Structure 1
Amino acid sequence: MKRRHLLGLGALGALGLWAMRPGDQGRPHTAYFADLQSLLKQEGGGVPQLVIDLDHLDANADLLAQRLGKLPLRLVAKSLASNGLLDYLAKRLTTRRFMVFHQPQANQLAQAFPDADLLLGKPLPVAAALAFYQQLPNGLGFDPTRQLTWLIDSPQRLVQYLELAKALQKPMSIALEIDIGLQRGGHPDAANLAQTLRLLADNSTLLQLRGLMGYDAQVAHAPLWTDSQQAFTAANERYAAFIDAARAFPAIWPRQPLLNGAGSLTYPLHAKGPTPLNEVAVGSALLKPAEFDTPLLASHQSAMWIATPVLKVQRGPLPYLQQAQGMLEAWNPNRQNAYYLYGGGWPAEPASPAGLAYDGIYGRSPNQERLIGSATTGLSVDDWVFLRPLLSEGLFSGFGQLRLLRHGRLVGTWKPQPAA
C-alpha cells in the first residue's frame, strides 16, 4: 500500500474523484479477449505474459510497406527488442537495416545478424564505442568498417572518435546528426556542421562520412498556432539546408549519401512526400503501443498486450475510508470492486475488461497491482486482465518470453533481447 496516497485525504483531488468516470460502467471481456483468456487459462502457466498478435503485426507491416513503396526502411531495434521479432519483420519488410541506441544491443545485433547494416540512433560516449570493439568476437563475419555507422553530433565528439580510430587503427563510418527543429542536440546550423566536415576532410582515411540523420518528432506534436504539415515542411527545409552545406565538401560527400530520418510518428508524411530522405526509421508503429495513438497512425492496430491473472477480488473500502465508501461508489460504480493482479507497475493502461482503472487513492504496485471496477466486469479469481502497453521500449526484458498469437491460437514464443 502506498501511504503517500492514503494520508492526504483532506481534498477531493487526493481521493481521485475528479479523475473518475461515473458513467463508464464496466463490462465483461469482448470476444477477442475472452478467447485469449481461455487460451491463457490452459497455456499461460499462471504468470504474466506479453502477447504479440501476429495477425495485427502483419497488418501493420503490410500497411507500412504499402505506404513506403520504394522508400527504404530501417527497423528501430530499441522498440522491437527481440531477435525473433526483428528477424521476422526484417524478412517480411525486406530489410537488413537496423537503428541501434545502446552499445550492448549493437554487439547483440552484430552477432545475431552478421549481414546487418547498423546505424546508431544517438551519439554514444566514445568509451561505449570502444567497448563495442572490445566485446566484438572474432570470426563473426560482421565488419564494423562497412556495416556500422556511428552518429556524431558535434565537432568535439568527432575529435574523440578520431582519437579512437587512431588507437584502433581501424577506419570508422560516420553519420552526422542534424537538428531539424526538435532542439534535442545535433549540429544546430550549417556553420557548426561545416566545422565537423572540415575535420572529416582532414582525416578522411580514418573517418568516412556516410551521410546525415535528422529526427523530426516535433512535427507530430505541433502546437495550436501551427499544424503538422507546416511543421513538416519547415523540418524538411532545414534538412535540405544541411544537405546543401554538406555538398560544399565534394571530396568527402558520398555520391549516394545516407539521408535518414522520420520515425513512427512521422513516417506517413515522408511516405506521402515530398521528402529529402532516402531512408526512414520505424519501430513502434509496428506494435502500436498506446502512446502512438495519433491521427497519422490511426490505420495501425494494437499488436501487443500484457496479460496477467487476477489473484484477489475484494469488495469494501480501503483503510481510513470506511465512511466514504458509499459516497465513492455512488459517484463511480467502478469503485465497487478491487482486483489485485499478479505483478504490476508496467507502463500500460487497462484494456479489458472495459471500465477497469488504476486506483488513484491506493497507488501503483509492481507486485500486486490494484485495479478498480464495477461488479459487472464479471471478473473472478484466476481470470485474466489485459493491459495495453504505453511503449514497447524497455518492456520486453521484463518478460521471459513473448507469446505469439496467430488466428486465435498460441503458436510459439520469441525471446526478448537480454537486458544490458
Structure 2
Amino acid sequence: MGRGTTGDSHVARNRLWARLSAAVAALDPPPPTPLMVVDLDAFDANAADLARRAGGKPIRLASKSVRVPALIERALANPGFHGVLAYTLREAMWLERQGITDDVVIAYPTVDRAALAELVASPSTASHVTLMVDDVAQLDVVDSVRSSHAVRVRVALDIDAGLRLGGQHVGPKRSPVHDIEDVVRLARHISERTGCALVGVMTYEGQVAGVPDDVPSQRARSLVVRRLKAASMSQLAERRRVIADRLTELVKLEFWNAGGSGSVEATSADAAVTEIAAGSGLLVPGLFDHYQSFAPRPAAFYGLPVTRHPTAAMATVHGGGYIASGASGDDRAPIPWAPPGLHLTSLEGAGEVQTPLTGHPAALLRIGDLVWFRHAKSGELFEHTNTVRLLAGDEFVDEVPTYRGCGNAW
C-alpha cells in the first residue's frame, strides 16, 4: 500500500508555513526573494531513510540532484553514503580539488576536450575520477587530447538497463550497449586499451527508479507501472547475473552502480550491485511524491512575495516560473505548497515575472507575505540562486552557496 508523502497534510503544511514565517521574520534586514530554503530536519531524516532502505550497500550521491556543496558534504557525512555520482567532468574535477570527495564517478559520457586534457595532465585527479563510456569513440576523444599514456584513465561501462518487452524498449534512452555479447566485447576492448582501466559498471533502471507508481488520480496507470517495474527488475536481475559472470573472466571490478531514489530496496536486493545511486530522495521534489516503496519528506522550498490582488479572491506573487526539465506537462510545474490550498491558474501557470494563485487562502494573503513552493525536480531549483538558507527547527542556521554561487555553470 502506498504511503504518500510525509508532511503533505494541511496541518503539516500550515506548520511548515509557520516555521518558515517565523524564521524569515527573525532576519534583519529582510532577505531578498526568491528565498530558497532547505529544511535540515527533513534532509537528515531523508538521508537516514535512504541508508536504511539500501540495507548496508553504500549510496553514491547523485550531485545533480543537490548542487549545493555544503549539502553534498552533509550527505556524505552520513553513515551509508560514499562517493559522488557527478553529471559533468568539470564538476567532478572541481569537487575533487575542493576536497569534497576523492571518489567521483561521472554518470554520463563526456567529449569536453579541454576538461579531458586537464584530467590526463593530473595523475592525482585522474586517480579519483571515473569516466563513463558506452562507445569506443568516446575513448578516442580522450586519446586525442593526450601526448602519452603515462596517466591511466579510470573508466566505467554504462550498460542499458531498459526492459525489453514485445520488441519494445521501456526505459531511458541512454547506452546503446544492451546485448550481453556487445557488453563483453566493449569491456574487453576497454580492459585491453592502453591508458585505460575498466573499474566499474553502471546499469541505471530509470523506468523503475524515476517513475511514480502510486498516484491517487491515476490508479489504473499506477497498477500498470508497478507491473512493468516488477517485470523490469526480474529481467534485469538475470541479465546482471549473466553479465557479472562474463565480466569476471575479463576484469575485477571495483563497483557496480545502479538504481535511484525510487528503487533503493529493489536495486540493493540484486547481488550483482555493489552501490546505489541516489540524490532526489534527499530534497524530495514534486515528482517524487507518489511512490509505493517509500514516504519521503519534502525538504526544499522557495518563497515568493505577494505583490498584488488582481481580484479579491486571487493573489499574485512575483516571478516563480521554474519549470522542470523533461517532457512538458503539468507535472513539471512547481507546486504552491504553503499555505496549503493554493493553485496555479490554467492560463498563466508559473510565470517568468508573475504567478497568479487561486484557492481559499489567496484572499487572506497580505501584500508582502511569502508563499512557499516546491520544484518538480531536485537540484534544478538551485541553478536559479546563489545561496540557500538552511532551516533547523524554527531558525535559519546558515546561508550557503550553490554551485552557481561558487561561480560554476555546468
TM-score above 0.5, yes or no: yes
Q: What do residues 138-168 of structure 1 show as CA deviations (whole Å, max 9, x unaligned)?
A: 7xxx823321110111233233334445556
Contact 2:160 2:174 in 1 (8 A): yes
Q: Which runs of 5+ in 2 are unaligned?
A: 1-9, 163-170, 214-220, 324-333
Contact 2:117 2:146 in 1 (8 A): no
Deviation at 1:84, TM superposition (A): 0.4
Residue number in structure 1 paired with 2:128: 147
Matching residue within 280, 287, 292 for 2:276? 280
Deviation at 1:72, TM superposition (A): 1.3
Matched, 1:207 2:196: yes
The 3-state SS of whatever aligns with 2:396 is strand
Query: CA 1:361–1:346 in 2, change beyond 3 Å: closer, same or farther?
Result: same
Q: Could you say what the CA RMSD is over the residues aligned between the two structures, in angstroms?
A: 2.7
Contact 2:283 2:299 in 1 (8 A): yes
Question: Matches of 2:383 and 2:117 in 1, distance apart?
Answer: 22
Matched, 1:395 2:406: no
Contact 1:180 1:236 in 2 (8 A): no
Deviation at 1:295, TM superposition (A): 2.3
Contact 1:76 1:100 in 2 (8 A): yes
Instruction: Give the partner amino acid of 1:309.
Output: P
Instruction: Give the partner amino acid of 2:124.
Output: D
Instruction: Give the partner amino acid of 2:138.
Output: R
Query: CA 1:235–1:132 in 2, change beyond 3 Å: closer, same or farther?
Result: farther
Question: Matches of 1:183 and 1:46 in 2, distance apart?
Answer: 39
Deviation at 1:38, TM superposition (A): 3.0
Instruction: Give the partner amino acid of 1:175.
Output: A
Matching residue within 180, 183, 189 for 1:193? 183
Matching residue within 334, 344, 354 for 2:340? 354
Contact 1:180 1:239 in 2 (8 A): no
Contact 1:190 1:242 in 2 (8 A): yes
Matched, 1:343 2:332: no
Residue number in structure 1 paired with 2:264: 267
Matched, 1:239 2:245: no
Deviation at 1:29, TM superposition (A): 6.8
Residue number in structure 2 paired with 1:298: 294
Deviation at 1:383, TM superposition (A): 0.9
Counting only pairs closer than 5 Å after superposition, residues 1-400 of structure 1 correspond to structure 2 as 30-43=14-27, 44-93=30-79, 95-113=81-99, 115-125=101-111, 127=113, 129-130=115-116, 132-133=118-119, 143-164=124-145, 167=148, 169-181=150-162, 182=171, 184-186=173-175, 187-203=177-193, 205-220=194-209, 221=211, 224=224, 226-249=227-250, 253-254=251-252, 256-271=253-268, 273-296=269-292, 298-315=294-311, 337-347=313-323, 348-374=334-360, 378-400=364-386
Question: Matches of 2:278 and 2:131 in 1, distance apart?
Answer: 19
Question: Matches of 1:416 and 1:353 in 2, distance apart?
Answer: 26
Task: Say how many residue pairs are matched.
Answer: 364
Question: Matches of 1:269 and 1:92 in 2, distance apart?
Answer: 22
Q: What do residues 82-121 of structure 1 show as CA deviations (whole Å, max 9, x unaligned)?
A: 1100111111235440011123312321222265201010
Q: What do residues 34-73 of structure 1 show as CA deviations (whole Å, max 9, x unaligned)?
A: 2312321342424211111111111111112222232111
Contact 2:260 2:276 in 1 (8 A): yes
Q: Which range is displaced more, 396-405 or 291-300?
A: 291-300
Instruction: Give the partner amino acid of 1:48.
Output: P
Question: Matches of 1:375 and 1:246 in 2, distance apart?
Answer: 59
Instruction: Give the partner amino acid of 1:270.
Output: T
Residue number in structure 1 paired with 2:217: none
Deviation at 1:405, TM superposition (A): 0.9
Question: Matches of 2:349 and 2:91 in 1, distance apart?
Answer: 34
Question: Matches of 1:28 and 1:126 in 2, distance apart?
Answer: 46
Q: What do residues 2-52 of structure 1 show as CA deviations (whole Å, max 9, x unaligned)?
A: xxxxxxxxxxxxxxxxxxxxxxxx999713312312321342424211111
Deviation at 1:240, TM superposition (A): 2.2
The 3-state SS of whatever aligns with 1:97 is strand
Larger radius of gyration: 1
Query: CA 1:409–1:103 in 2, change beyond 3 Å: closer, same or farther?
Result: same
Question: Matches of 2:353 and 2:68 in 1, distance apart?
Answer: 25
The 3-state SS of whatever aligns with 1:143 is helix
Deviation at 1:357, TM superposition (A): 1.4
The 3-state SS of whatever aligns with 1:295 is coil
Q: Which runs of 5+ in 1 are unaligned?
A: 1-25, 316-335
Matched, 1:416 2:392: no
Tell me the percent identity. Answer: 24
